[in-house]
């Protein structure tokens, strides 16, 4: 069980670092909003995070 928790923590930290490196602070805020919204079961907050991440991903194409 501790190995699973350690791997999960490494995955979360790695994904946060990847998003921050690729999209900067706005990407980190979007990921944070998405995560908090899912854990709190708040569709408005998770949707705001998802929209922010989608805008950041589509930015170069626009």
pTM, rounded to two decimals: 0.70
Q: What is the pLDDT of residues 33-60, one digit of tens each?
A: 888 898 898 899 999 988 988 898 887 7
How far apart (Å, rounded) are the C-alpha atoms in residues 52 and 21? 16
- 16: its two tokens: 């946060």
Q: Which is nearest to 12 in space by CA: 34, 43, 41, 42?
A: 34
pLDDT at residue 62, as a whole number: 65
DSSP-based helix, strand, coil % in the chain, nearest 5: 90, 0, 10
Q: Which is nearest to 56 in space by CA: 24, 32, 13?
A: 24
């Amino acid at each position: 069980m501790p190995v699973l928790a350690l791997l999960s923590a490494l995955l979360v930290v790695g994904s946060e670092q990847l998003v921050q490196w690729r999209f900067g602070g706005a990407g980190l805020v979007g990921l944070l909003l998405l995560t908090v919204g899912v854990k709190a079961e708040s569709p408005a907050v998770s949707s705001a995070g998802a929209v922010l991440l989608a805008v950041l991903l589509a930015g170069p194409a626009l």
